[in-house]
Amino acid sequence: MGKINSVEKLTDNRFVNLYNVKATSVHNTQVDYFVASRAKSIESMKLSTHKNIPDGVIIYSVYGEKHDKVVLIRQYRYTLGDYIYEFPAGLVEPGENYHEGAVRELYEETGLTLKPIEVEEAYQKPYFTTVGMTDESCATVYGYASGEISAAAQEDSEEIEVVIADREEVKRILREENVAIMCAYMLMHFLHDDEPFAFLNQK
């Protein structure tokens, strides 16, 4: 196993920071690596704590009486200089569990109310998003959305369009649009399962 020799914090930003990791690989090669992290300090990075506490939450919710539409957002991302389709998502606040975070984030981004469903831990626990460049991990919350779409609670820095997509629109989105990978996999389930949450081992 490789060995981390030192970690230096390079930035001091609100949402994400860059850390320089100097290490020695299992082959005794010197490694100079950069890690983006939601952590505010070296001590709270996952390479220090070895605890997978979720930084954020992703919300897979369906809408409509027949549960035949899925709630998506089309968001402008500076990393791409373009729009991408995603599930509503956001950071978990300190002292907040990720189910509470999901309810809050869905409302803030879409104006909709989320009724989460209970599922086995393996389907909702935090998993790492892009481990080659960040230690960020996100939990997933599933549920039913209701209410009227509103942008009133969106932040001024966000450029978000709420999309309620049926299966035909989901097919088009997967064929033609930029889609976040975790969202894409779930949309494939949505397309092929009569019951949107059939793949979950619900409690």
pLDDT at 23: 97
Which residue, 110, 18, 92, is CA-closest to 55? 92
Residue that has been written with the tokens 């998003």 in this structure: 129
Both tokens of 52, joined, read 């997978």
**Residue 11: exposure state from Cβ atoms within 10 A (0-12, 13-18, ≥19):** exposed
Are the CB atoms for 116 and 102 separated by under 8 Å? yes
pLDDT grade for 201, boundaries at 50, 70 and 90: confident
What pTM, to 2 d.p., does this model score? Answer: 0.93
Alpha helices in 46-110 (DSSP H): 46-49, 98-110
**Alpha helix segments (H runs only) across the chain:** 46-49, 98-110, 121-124, 167-176, 181-192
Per-residue model confidence as pLDDT tens digits over 155-200? 888 899 999 999 999 999 999 999 999 999 999 999 998 888 988 8
Buried b (16+ CB within 10 A) or exposed e, 47-81: eeeeeeebbbbbbbbbbeeeeebbbbbbbeeeeee
Is the confidence at residue 97, as pLDDT, over 80? yes
Q: Quick one: pLDDT at residue 203?
A: 66
Closest to 71 measured CA to CA, from 175, 141, 159: 141
Q: Encode pLDDT of 53-94 as tens digits.
A: 999 999 999 999 999 999 999 999 999 999 999 999 999 998
User: 39 pLDDT band (50/70/90 cuts)?
Assistant: very high
Reported as a single tens digit per residue, the pLDDT across 3-38 is 999 999 999 999 999 999 999 999 999 999 999 999
